[in-house]
Amino acid sequence: MLKHVLHPIHPDGRKFVAIFVVVTLALFLLWQPLGWLGVIASAWCIYFFRDPPRVTPQRAGLVVAPADGLVVSVGPGTPPAELELGDQPLTKIGIFLNVFDVHINRMPIAGTVERTRYHKGQFLNASFDKASELNERMAIRLTTTEGASIGVVQIAGLVARRIVCEAKADGRYETGERFGLIRFGSRTDLYLPAGWSVQVAVGQRMVGGETIVADAHSTEPQRQGIIR
């Protein structure tokens, strides 16, 4: 049971957890009630940087969610210029991560990273669609094992101020493989070829590395969702 509750901390988060713990100890020395607030903050920090294992579906053509979070947009969108995917609209899927979501990013499909480009920008609320264009971001172009090109974009948000991208040009990655994270609250956008079948609807919750968001081999029309 514990393995489903206790998860390892991402290496990038260890220094933050250490800082929170040290500050908490100092607060206890100053005034005990403040120390208990520090305990709560430290527990949240550990929770934020958790890195749980995921079960990734294995089948050619499946695209999985690159991040946990809420689907806030599905539809045509022009990819960022730095991806060099052309100026024609592709299928864009936007996922918003709040401060309680797992913030580890995972590769949506197996392939080779062709390029990574950092773009300095603003820190608007990442749930707004204009954040895709205006906010600080890291863009990754991936060529799948079948030769298709897709884009994965890590976008900083209102609270997030640091994008960590471990993906390297010419690196070969498997579906669901970890490649970075964003702290603390952010957005991840996917740009897929227009003909691929979208398997999610706006408002759905995503599980990074597990939830199937699209299928390159399916002819199923785009799914519609309803809140119940």
Residues annotated as catalytic are 186
Q: CA-CA distance, 102 to 6, in Å (whole number)? A: 13
Short-list 151, 116, 119, CA closest to 135: 119
Residue type, 67: A
Sequence-ordered list of residues with C-beta below 8 angstroms from that of 123, at least 6 positions apart, any chain: 135, 136, 156, 157, 158, 160, 161
Alpha-carbon Rg for the chain in angstroms: 18
Q: Report residue 143 as tokens.
A: 């060529």
Tell me which H or E stretch contains 23. Answer: helix 14-30
Could you identify the residue written with the tokens 């920008």? 121
Reply yes or no: is the peptide bond before residue 28 cis, omega within 30 of 0.
Answer: no
Sequence-ordered list of residues with C-beta below 8 angstroms from that of 172, at least 6 positions apart, any chain: 111, 112
Q: CA-CA distance, 96 to 91, in Å (whole number)? A: 17
